[in-house]
Amino acid sequence: MEEIAHQLAPILEQITGYIYPNEIELHWRILIVVYPYITGLVAGAFILASLVKVFNVREVQPTYRLSLLTALAFLIVAPLPLLAHIGHPEKSLEIFLTPNFSSAMAMFGFIYAWYLMAVLLLEIWFDYRRDLIIWAKNEKGLMKWIHRIFTLFSTDTSERAVRFDKRSIKAITIVGIPSAFLLHGYVGFIFGSVKANPWWSSVLMPIVFLFSAIVSGIALVLLIYMVVTLVRGKEINMACLDKLAGYLFYTMIIDFSLEALDFIHRLYESEESIEILSQLISGRLFVSLIVIQLLLGMILPLAGLSSVKLFRVPAELRRHIYFVSALLVQVGIFTTRWNVVIGGQLFSKSFRGLTAYKMSLGGVEGLLVSLGFLILPFIVLYILVKIFPPWQEAKQP
């Protein structure tokens, strides 16, 4: 008894009020914050790419291939935090071999595989096929073989074949948009369907997740585009940038309205959980929700972007505003995920107490590993860009 008391004493400091014993420690930690963040970026980047093909938005053409590769790089990394969190990655195969249709979590494998293979890879293949053939013709050594293998040894660059490519891309994109919605809406669904948790349980959850995903995806492509053009020493295409920032602005407004709607709805309903949730917001989540997510991640970038719309701002300054806004949006969306995942576990289901989350530095569930997972997609993207240069100049006439 003495011994237990000694072990408990430091843990009890992180608790206020009454809490069930199994709620003291959080089970979904930083890795589960990283996972919806990354999947969100995938869906967002893909939807941006679809704008070019489906809605024929000419201006953002320079980012089309870049968005596709970004989506692919992040999609490859997306399940890794999950696998690290659950452990036994070799068993992940079983969800494909013995599918359990009544489990939303188990269905993720299929949604993921569908999205990866039927949408992203196919679209990239069709889009690059002709260029790959031409590149391979003029190359030697390893790169020639890599490119040839990726074309599946196809050599047909005839008018008819290219026309078929184009039509396929359009068809895939049309299938792809609902698929991207599914991919990230699914993540929101997982949280929204936890009946016992009033912070999560909301039908709006999938939609809020989706729009924050689009916001983060657009902001990410904008950032990557700016940095990469800078590194390559090229001129930034201002029309493209303005268009991207415009989309960012409008989706942010939708996202903001949805989140406000969710918030007001909760306030108006005032279910029995409202007491503890308001304690949560005004206490443990104050900095991450009000200061970072709302002020830094939403209001400030919105103000920046709308000032560009309202006043005549010189291009140089515009670029700075876009860059800083997009960066803030990334921070904001990451804390959005944090506030959902971590926030939902900070209060007791008895609605009478709160616990705290202390992140560890090392270990699988620690900060360093999560940072690794956040950096990894950029390394993958670097490799992808080396193999499939997305630049306009690389495109064969």
- Regarding 97 and contact with another protein (CB under 8 A), the answer is yes
Residue 312 DSSP one-character state: -
3-class secondary-structure state, position 389: coil
- Regarding 110 and contact with another protein (CB under 8 A), the answer is no
The only residue of 15, 146, 161, 194 in contact with another protein, by rule CB under 8 A: 161
- Regarding 152 and contact with another protein (CB under 8 A), the answer is yes
CB of 179 to another protein, least distance (A): 17
The only residue of 55, 98, 159, 397 in contact with another protein, by rule CB under 8 A: 98
Encoded amino acid at 261, one letter: L
CB of 308 to another protein, least distance (A): 43
CB of 280 to another protein, least distance (A): 21
Alpha-carbon separation of residue 124 from 49, 131, 196, 341 (angstroms): 11, 11, 41, 33
- Regarding 154 and contact with another protein (CB under 8 A), the answer is yes
The only residue of 122, 236, 254, 364 in contact with another protein, by rule CB under 8 A: 122
Backbone angles phi, psi at 353, to 5 degrees: -160, 170
Q: Which stretch binds another protein (CB under 8 A): 97-105, 204-212, 259-267, 358-366?
A: 97-105
In the chain, what is the straight-line distance between the N-terminal and C-terminal CA atoms, in Å? 79
Encoded amino acid at 370, one letter: S
CB of 165 to another protein, least distance (A): 7
CB of 161 to another protein, least distance (A): 6
Residue 35 tokens, joined? 């996972």
Report the distance separating Cα 65 and Cα 43, nearest Å: 15
Report the distance separating Cα 284 and Cα 166, nearest Å: 51
With a CB cutoff of 8 Å and minimum separation 6, the contacts of 282 are: none
Report the distance separating Cα 60 and Cα 73, nearest Å: 20
The only residue of 35, 74, 115, 125 in contact with another protein, by rule CB under 8 A: 125
- Regarding 61 and contact with another protein (CB under 8 A), the answer is no
Count the alpha carbons within 13 Å of 242 in the hemisphere toward its beta carbon: 15
The only residue of 93, 104, 227, 375 in contact with another protein, by rule CB under 8 A: 93
Report the distance separating Cα 213 and Cα 219, nearest Å: 10
Name the residue nearer to another protein (CB basis): 1 or 310.
1
The only residue of 96, 145, 263, 286 in contact with another protein, by rule CB under 8 A: 96
For the residues of 264-286, what is the DSSP string, one character each? Answer: HHHHHH--TTHHHHHHHHHTTTI
Residue 302 DSSP one-character state: H
The only residue of 25, 137, 156, 178 in contact with another protein, by rule CB under 8 A: 156
The residue count for binding another protein (CB under 8 A) is: 21
Residue 160 tokens, joined? 């008819």
Name the residue nearer to another protein (CB basis): 323 or 388.
388
- Regarding 153 and contact with another protein (CB under 8 A), the answer is yes
- Regarding 165 and contact with another protein (CB under 8 A), the answer is yes
Write down the H helix ranges in 194-299. Answer: 205-232, 238-269, 274-282
The only residue of 92, 100, 282, 396 in contact with another protein, by rule CB under 8 A: 100
- Regarding 396 and contact with another protein (CB under 8 A), the answer is no
Backbone angles phi, psi at 129, to 5 degrees: -50, -50
- Regarding 391 and contact with another protein (CB under 8 A), the answer is no
The only residue of 65, 85, 129, 184 in contact with another protein, by rule CB under 8 A: 129
Contact (CB, 8 A) for 217 and 40: yes
The only residue of 11, 18, 105, 324 in contact with another protein, by rule CB under 8 A: 18
Which residues share a beta bridge with 354?
16, 347
| Helices first, then strands: H and E counts in the chain | 16, 2
- Regarding 1 and contact with another protein (CB under 8 A), the answer is yes
- Regarding 357 and contact with another protein (CB under 8 A), the answer is no
Name the residue nearer to another protein (CB basis): 124 or 369.
124
Name the residue nearer to another protein (CB basis): 100 or 360.
100
CB of 171 to another protein, least distance (A): 12
Interacting residues toward another protein by CB under 8 A: 1, 18, 93, 96-98, 100, 117, 122, 125-126, 129, 152-154, 156, 160-161, 164-165, 168
